[in-house]
Amino acid sequence: MVQGGGSICGSLDVAGAPVSIANPDAGTLTASNINPCSSVISAVADGNVVVPAGYQIIYVLTSGAGLVIEQVAPTPDFTVPTGGVYTIHTLVYDPATLDLSIVTPGVTTGFDVNGLLVQGGGSICASLDVAGAQFNIENPNAGTLTAASNSVCFTGGSAVISATANGNAFVPAGYQTIYVLTSGAGLVIEQVNATPSFTVTASGNYTIHTLVYDPATLDLSIVTPGVTTGFDVNGLLVQGGGTICASLDVAGAPIFVGNPSAGTISNNGLFRCLQGGTATLNATPNGNAIVPPGFSTIYVLTRGQGLVIQQVNAVPVFNVSQIGLYRIHTLVYDPATLNLGIVVPGTTTGFDVNGLLVQGGGSICASLDVTGAPYIVLGPIICSIFNLDSQVGNDISAETMEAIRPYLESGTDAVLFDINVYPNPASDVLNVTFNSNLSGTASVMIYNSVGQLVIEKALTINTGFQQSNMDVSELPSGNYLIRVSTPEGFSSKMFQVSK
């Protein structure tokens, strides 16, 4: 042409419109890790992939005949969650034309993606190896169990324990499920059953396990109850380093069978004196409580012989402001079976709670130390009279206890009526005077400084002024307490004997 230096009159668009033809090809894959009991699968590219400039390779894992997309990865290596039929595919694509964000794992299928591509009747230029490398993974999974109760009370004879499958087991075709009961930390096999329910005749720690197995490869006759352990069986399985394709839920559902025990608790001293209007009661557990799995420990403060509940606490320490007899009790209980919301402080008693428990004739598996740690709380005046300010022992004499009892029962820190004694100090005769509003019999008792009754005298009294002489000539020098008890009450006073 003239434009090119020739003689022909014509025109050619030499630059024209350039077009690059891309023909991506995903090629093929060959499975390289074919272990039906392994959760790890992988494939090797056969070297026949074509990746045009600007294109990328990604590998896609699908499950089932419907090729449901489960995962994608930059290499053909995947870990599958359970058994089934899986396929690894190669996808060669141009990120500018195929947006992979359209893929929803567990929903989108390989067929959905292929339908977008030219090879599948769509318009996007990309290549998917639809056939891929297929794997038939058995990979049984025993799943997990949940115990019906973490602890079961054992009242003698037998107890039934059970668990519920959580629905996450996988049982391949040809496989079976059986449940195994083991005992102790060594998982000694005790029983097997078609359901996760067992009857035991002894207390202890038990575990219910699920075993998914192929009877053609695992012969259960190897199990000797009381001898073979769950660890022995697990060691035969692929999951435990063996060669048999099966699954044992080694952790299982642990269950404690036995009776919780609140144990005992020490009071760190029987007496407490109110100081500034309060006294602190503190106890020490003796370390002999039994707290089964799922159980909790709480401490309960009661007052009086009726064990009226006053307070509860997570530790055995309480502050009180009233004179009286108190006890700190230990309660070991399962919050799922004993609702402490039933307790009304000042109304509910320890006996009420005990009556709900198996130990008290009820049905709830829990333990209450009914005896508990006792305390006698007195006012500062009475404590001083009986020299109890620093008394921390439990070895007080019966006589002193008898002298203290009226103050404890009355809840008062003051004498109930007034008496006079003279001379004070006395050497041989002590005169006692008082007024009485009632007639009847009175008693006069003298206690030494350690609480021993050293003199006792009975009086017949009438209403009005009363006087009595007490022979103290045989008493050694020292401090004494005289206590007068009449039909209307009692009164005490300190005096001295000096020789």
* Spatial contact of 151 and 334, defined as CB atoms under 8 Å apart: yes
Q: In the chain, what percentage of residues exceed pLDDT 90?
A: 72
pLDDT at 18 over 70: no
Q: Torsions phi, psi of 71, nearest 5?
A: -150, 160
pLDDT at 444 over 70: yes
pLDDT digits (tens, 9 = 90+) for 214-229: 999 999 999 999 999 9
Amino acid at site 496: Q
* Torsion over CA: 182, 183, 189, 194 (sign): negative
Question: Which positions ≥6 away from 56 have C-beta within 8 Å?
Answer: 92, 93, 94, 95
Lowest mean pLDDT among 241-255, 388-402, 408-422: 388-402
Sheet with strand 429-436: strands edge to edge: 419-422, 429-436, 464-471
* CA-closest candidate to residue 104, choices 96, 113, 95: 113
pLDDT digits (tens, 9 = 90+) for 315-325: 999 999 999 99
**What is the DSSP secondary-structure string of 346-406?**
TT-BHHHHHHHBGGGTSSB--EE-SS-EEEEEE-HHHHHHTT-TT---S---HHHHHHHHH
Position with higher pLDDT, 427 vs 399: 427
pLDDT at 404 over 90: no
Helix ranges, 119-261 (H): 230-236
Q: What are the residue boundaries of the structural domains of the chain, listed by start?
A: 29-137, 145-257, 265-378, 419-497
Q: Pick one of 2.60.40.2550, 1.10.1050.10, 3.40.640.10, 1.10.10.60 as the CATH number of 419-497.
A: 2.60.40.2550
pLDDT digits (tens, 9 = 90+) for 22-51: 689 999 999 997 777 878 899 999 999 999
Cα-trace Rg, the chain: 44
* Spatial contact of 462 and 417, defined as CB atoms under 8 Å apart: no
For residue 407, give the H/E element and its range.
helix 398-410
pLDDT at 19 over 50: no
Residue that is written with structure tokens 């333990």 in the block: 367
Per-residue model confidence (pLDDT) at position 328: 98
pLDDT at 81 over 90: no
Mean of pLDDT values over 164-190: 96
From the CB of residue 24, how many other CB atoms can be counted at a distance below 10 Å?
Answer: 23
pLDDT digits (tens, 9 = 90+) for 447-481: 998 889 999 999 999 888 899 999 999 999 999 99
Q: Where are the beta strands (DSSP E) in 7-124?
A: 29-31, 40-45, 56-63, 68-73, 77-79, 84-93
* Spatial contact of 413 and 379, defined as CB atoms under 8 Å apart: yes
pLDDT digits (tens, 9 = 90+) for 357-394: 989 999 899 999 999 999 999 888 777 766 775 544 55
Per-residue model confidence (pLDDT) at position 160: 95
Position with higher pLDDT, 417 vs 314: 314
Per-residue model confidence (pLDDT) at position 399: 64
pLDDT at 349 over 80: yes
| Strand 324-333 to 367-368 pairing | antiparallel
pLDDT digits (tens, 9 = 90+) for 189-209: 999 999 999 999 999 999 999
For residue 468, give the H/E element and its range.
strand 464-471
Lowest mean pLDDT among 98-112, 116-130, 405-419: 405-419
pLDDT at 21 over 90: no
- CA distance to 60, 83, 127, per residue, from 89 (Å): 5, 18, 10
Residue 47 CA to residue 497 CA, distance in Å, equals 117
Q: How many Å is the maximal CA-CA distance in the chain?
A: 166
Q: In the chain, what percentage of residues exceed pLDDT 70?
A: 93
Tokens of 357: 């428990």
pLDDT at 395 over 70: no
Per-residue model confidence (pLDDT) at position 7: 81
**Strand partners for 86:** 63, 135
Per-residue model confidence (pLDDT) at position 175: 95
Per-residue model confidence (pLDDT) at position 438: 73
Round the average pLDDT of the chain to a whole number and report it. 91
* Spatial contact of 480 and 496, defined as CB atoms under 8 Å apart: yes
Per-residue model confidence (pLDDT) at position 317: 98
* Spatial contact of 171 and 83, defined as CB atoms under 8 Å apart: no
